Chains A and B, each alone.
Chain A
Amino acid sequence: MSAQQHARPAPVGGSMFTATTLVCGILMAITATIIVVRLFFGLSSTTNVNDGYSWGIWVVVDVFIGSALACGGFCMALLVYVFNKGKYHPLVRPALLGSLFGYTFAGAAITFDLGRWWNFWHIFWPGYFNVNSVMFEVAACITLYIIVMWIEFSPVFLEKLGLRDARRKLEKSLFFFIALGCVLPMMHQASLGTMLVVMGDQVHPLWQTPIQPLIYLLSAIMLGYGVILFESCVAASAYRRQIELSLLNPMAKVMLGIIALFLVVRFTDVAVRGALPEAFRASHIALTFWVENLCLVATFLLIGTVEARRNPARLFLAGITVMLSGILLRLNGFLIAFDTGPGWSYFPSVPELLVTIGIFAAEVFGYIYITRRFPVLPREETHAQPAHS
């Protein structure tokens, strides 16, 4: 068999009881306990959120950053099904799985941050919902997308269960869900940026702009590819598998193109609005702005050449710098460069941090469980040739 051929997905197999799953299990149990306390005694019993910073890490990290880091699925679908780059097909299922868990847990996480969660259904109820609200668009879109992703991923379960007829029927209409699964995340990832607009001057001028949707959309797409680099390297090392270098190399090039576009848009916007001098003040705001954007420049230094992109360590680091930049863009806009007036401060409490960590642990646990038991990752051929031969 040639290495260029699509390797069919297969379960990785192996035991679910490992050091990693045990740690994840403990973190998940702690998270569950803290959530129970929060539900009985209110938000201040477990979190440091206050009226100056009413959105803490449960919103900004778990949902805004968590969902952006889960953009790998739709980014791969765009590449494979829309731009017809079939060779990337082996990366689709693992990427979609990452997205599925990222979004499902982001959706679960927002529920217990809601102060009046039992009214959550109002978001979908005509007569309650407000189409002018950016939050309405985001909430409705994310919920719909989670459902669409489970449909997109369901062939994996049907395959495992041997329900071939059901699978074939589903696949006849799958192209529609694939398209929907691209439009929905583009909509709400853009809107996550628009969320900042109504906050006006409370958001520092380096992060407050009417072209917010474009910036957040581009950022989400480059994050999607960055996360795939990261995930592929981690999965390969954890399961002692080959890294799909022949795929990651050209995909990383696509990512660099998006990053270049992002940087041009970002700096043009800052300059046109006259906010550039703010970036040259001696302040922590200017510092975090430069860290955010120099991370992207570092990506070019790491994997700017075809040669460099053949180095797994460099691809891995590039994935991390892109993720760091995307994380910082959101942290800066919603927390670090958000100033609601004098006298307010926020730093997450220990239980708050533990819940955020626990949610990421749940995602890791879910990823391990599904890849070990269900056909997601490409089947390893023991005598496969090196991928880039």
Chain B
Amino acid sequence: MNTPVRKARAVPDGRRRFLKGCLGTVGAAVAAATASDRAAARETYQRPADALGLLYDATLCIGCKACVAACKRANDNPPEFSTTDKLWDTPLDTSGYTFNIIKMYRSGTMATKDDEENGYAFMKTSCMHCADPSCVSACPVTAMTKDATTGIVAYDPEACVGCRYCVVACPFGIPKYQYDSPTGQIGKCELCRHRYKDGHYSACAEVCPTGATLYGRTSDLLVEAKRRLALKPGSVTTYPRGNLSGGPDQSYEGKVGNYKQHVYGETEYGGTQVLKLSAVDFEKVGMPYLPPKSSASTSETIQHTLYGGLLMPFAVLGALTYVAKRNVHHEDDEAPPAEPPGREES
């Protein structure tokens, strides 16, 4: 970029031109933005009609961690150790090799289960399979996808570049990367979609002895969750186990917990396909407050407003090309410009 500029004119002309340059560029940008605006606004996605998911009821969970072990087996993941003897698989959180874990809430003396004060409670941590997932929006190479029918958020290591934007973007901290490997992948729950062809469903729900983790269509699970919230705490009701939307009846009778009147996942970020019930405040057991509008929809609205159809970039490029063509002067190698450029005092 050696070409010197056509010499600047007298001050007033130069200033006028400066303003013209500004106005032209801004005008082109605004016109393009208005044109692309209508198409750009992106609503928060809702769950597909036949979305599959889980219902986790913390009041039914006994913390046996059968689901953690089953998940490891189903996904062929190695054990992770947090104790010195390294005898048992003891992951402290989900990771690139652990897609499901039961965490514990503790308060004071931990005397009673599901009490916020001086009590304890369990909470399952695994992918929520959002209706409008941040990870899918963030992924530059479509390695994270949401199935149009089942709504399962799946990962394809063959497509992934390993930028880890999904790891950073997820509000639940779910996609995790394998940092200890030169060929590390992202690891996350895919609702055992690889086991469906053998007549299986999510391993965590298959093995859960109390039905705390229940598999099924999210629409069915939501009805079941609301049924439980409407019951009187302490009364007796029937709890299904395993697969709510089909499969043999494995139900049993149990006492109704002292639920918070909130189905976590019903509306968060447009809803999730994994729903949760708890007797302890959700934020206290690690489930963040999320508005009904997804951050993916905000992000994509911004992107499409600015770059939709590349309208605005081309408009600005056109304006700048026009201005630059006028102002770039082809210099002859031998003859440096003789006239002094106009001066403008600051």
A residues within 8 Å of B by Cβ?
2, 4-6, 8-9, 39-45, 47, 49-52, 54-55, 77, 80-87, 89, 92-93, 96, 114-117, 119-120, 122-123, 128-137, 139, 152-153, 155-156, 159, 164, 167-168, 171-172, 174-176, 178-183, 186-187, 190-191, 194-195, 197-202, 210, 212-213, 249-250, 252-253, 306, 309, 338, 340-341, 343
Q: Is there contact, CB below 8 Å, between B327 and A82?
A: yes
Question: Which of B244-252, B272-280, B290-298 makes up part of the contact surface?
Answer: B290-298
Known: A43-B184, A86-B5. A135 touches B140 (CB 8 A): yes
Q: Is there contact, CB below 8 Å, between B177 and A134?
A: no
Known: A6-B4, A341-B173. A119 touches B141 (CB 8 A): yes
Number of contact residues on B: which range applies? 35 or more
Interface on chain A toward B: helix, strand, loop, or mixed SS?
Answer: helix
**B214 interfacial contact with A, CB 8 Å:** no
Q: Is there contact, CB below 8 Å, between A83 and B22?
A: yes
Determine how close the nearest CB of chain A comes to the CB of B185; give it in whole angstroms.
7
Which residue in chain A gives the minimum CB-CB distance to B186? A115
Q: Is there contact, CB below 8 Å, between A51 and B333?
A: no
CA of A370 to CA of B102, assembled, Å = 58
A250 contacts across to B, CB distance below 8 A: 344-346
**B194 interfacial contact with A, CB 8 Å:** no
Q: Is there contact, CB below 8 Å, between A197 and B346?
A: no
CA of A341 to CA of B168, assembled, Å = 11
B residues within 8 Å of A by Cβ?
1-8, 14, 17-18, 21-22, 25, 93, 95-96, 134, 137-142, 157-165, 167-169, 171, 173, 176-186, 286, 288-290, 295-296, 298-300, 302-304, 306-307, 313, 316-317, 320-321, 323-328, 330-331, 333, 336-338, 340-346
Q: Is there contact, CB below 8 Å, between A132 and B171?
A: no
A172 contacts across to B, CB distance below 8 A: 330
Q: Of B18, B22, B141, B162, which one neighbours A117 at CB under 8 angstroms?
A: B162
B178 contacts across to A, CB distance below 8 A: 42, 115
Determine how close the nearest CB of chain B comes to the CB of A137; give it in whole angstroms.
6
Q: Is there contact, CB below 8 Å, between B140 and A119?
A: no
Determine how close the nearest CB of chain A comes to the CB of B87; give it in whole angstroms.
24
Determine how close the nearest CB of chain A comes to the CB of B20; give it in whole angstroms.
9
Known: A159-B2, A164-B333, A199-B169. A83 touches B295 (CB 8 A): no
Q: Is there contact, CB below 8 Å, between A178 and B328?
A: yes
| 29 chain-A/chain-B pairs, Cβ below 8 angstroms | A40-B182, A42-B179, A51-B96, A55-B164, A84-B18, A84-B327, A87-B341, A89-B5, A93-B1, A93-B2, A96-B1, A114-B161, A114-B162, A115-B160, A116-B157, A117-B161, A119-B141, A119-B159, A119-B161, A132-B300, A135-B165, A155-B2, A168-B333, A171-B3, A174-B1, A175-B324, A176-B324, A194-B303, A198-B169
CA of A218 to CA of B75, assembled, Å = 47
Q: Is there contact, CB below 8 Å, between A51 and B341?
A: no
A83 contacts across to B, CB distance below 8 A: 17-18, 21-22
CA of A96 to CA of B165, assembled, Å = 30
